[in-house]
Amino acid sequence: MSQPEQQAGAIAAAPPQKPFQTKLVLLGEAAVGKSSVVLRFVQNDFQENKEPTIGAAFLTQKCRLEDRLIKFEIWDTAGQERFHSLAPMYYRNAQASAVIYDVTKASSFEKAKSWVKELQRQANPNIVIALVGNKIDLLGRTESVEESTAQGEEDDETATATPEAGASSSLRAVPKDEAEAYAKESGLLFFETSAKTGEGVVEVFTEIAKKIPIDLHLARSAAAATAGGGSGAGRTGAGAQSGGVDLNSGGESRGRDACSC
């Protein structure tokens, strides 16, 4: 994980520049900390005992990368991953995805692999995928460097989102090198993070931002705009550019030309 030069995170006063809008979808087993990672990124906040995600359609966060401003539109699964009931709409036009697992829970890593497969099947072929091992704060302090502990079908005890007060040092169940090797061979970005301490979280998003072929997407949506039909870059952006209609924009003009008489 190289430290990024760019400072990502909230940008208070950005020059008037149209940000490049990017849809990023979160995936991963229930309770691996999907929402927590995002919350850390978006609000630099962490909630212990966070309840399963409710109430947010998507969160947005801008991120500056060299001379570019990127606006992430981050979609949470809203629990629809539980029974494999994510709609195709969820993957639609996603340019990036963060597949998250819990480093203390082997089954969540297996699940992550299956989500990667699902993405490769359902999503844009050139989607940027980041594999993220979360909850490294749960590992004992000694361990956090590098340690391939025993292969981990062993315990599923820490399966809840909530780190219990007493159990603050759990065993690593997914060796870092194993996950990293898998990521490498599948062409994924790889990170380990702690949403709780914030370690590694910003890097996930900056590295994703760096890897998104922005110019390609821009060229495409420009082409789409002139051709009157798009090949689906940037949902909201391209939607409007390629002859799409934004329903929310019609409200005010109502009445002006709405009725012929």
Partner 1 sequence: MSLEKTHYDVAILSTGLTQSILSAALSKANLSVIHLDNNDYYADQWASLTLSEIDSWARSRYSKTGISHLDISYPSSSSPSPSTPPAPSSDIDEDHSPSSHQQHESPDGPPEEALKLDRHYALSLAPTLLASTGPSIDTLVKSNVASYATFRLLEHTAVFTSPETIERVPSSKEDIFKHKGLGLIDKRKLMRLLAYAASGDWEKPENRGQLEAIPFPRYLSEQHKLPPHLVRAVAYGVSLSSSSEESTLTALARARDHLRSTGRYGNSAYLVGQYGGAGELAQGYCRASAVHGGTFILAHKVKSLQRQGQEEGGEGEVAESVWSIEVQGLEERITANWVVASDEMLDELDDSPQTSRQEPPASDVGGIDVVRGILVLDRPIDFVETATEPESSYRVEAEDEEDGAKAPVKPKTPPETGLLVFPPNSLEEEGVDGGGGHSETIMALMMGEGTFSCPKGQYVFYLQTQIPSQSPRSAKEILSGAIQAILKLAGKSSPADPVPERDGEEENPTSKEEEVIPILQLVYRQKIASDGHTRKDERLFSVPFPPMSTSGPTSKTTPPTLADLPDLSTNQAERLFWQIVGEEQRSISERNASRRKKRRDPSEFQGRGGRGYDDGVQSEEETEEEEGVDFFG
Q: Which residues bind partner 1 (CB under 8 A)?
A: 51-59, 78-80, 82-85, 87-90, 92, 122, 227-232, 235-236, 239, 242-245, 247-251, 253-254, 256-261
Q: Which is nearer to partner 1, 49 or 142 (CB)?
A: 49
3-state secondary structure 29-44: CCCCCHHHHHHHHHHC
Q: Are 35 and 50 in contact (CB under 8 A)?
A: yes
Question: Minimum distance between the CB of residue 60 and partner 1, rounded to whole angstroms?
Answer: 9
Q: Which is nearer to partner 1, 18 or 84 (CB)?
A: 84
Q: Which is nearer to partner 1, 136 or 224 (CB)?
A: 224
Question: Minimum distance between the CB of residue 172 and partner 1, rounded to whole angstroms?
Answer: 26
Question: Which residue reads 């996950």 in tokens?
Answer: 179
Q: Which is nearer to partner 1, 145 or 261 (CB)?
A: 261
Cα torsion 219, 224, 226, 227: sign: positive
Q: Are 94 and 23 in contact (CB under 8 A)?
A: yes
Distance from C-alpha of 134 to C-alpha of 246, rounded to nearest angstrom: 37
Distance from C-alpha of 52 to C-alpha of 177, rounded to nearest angstrom: 30
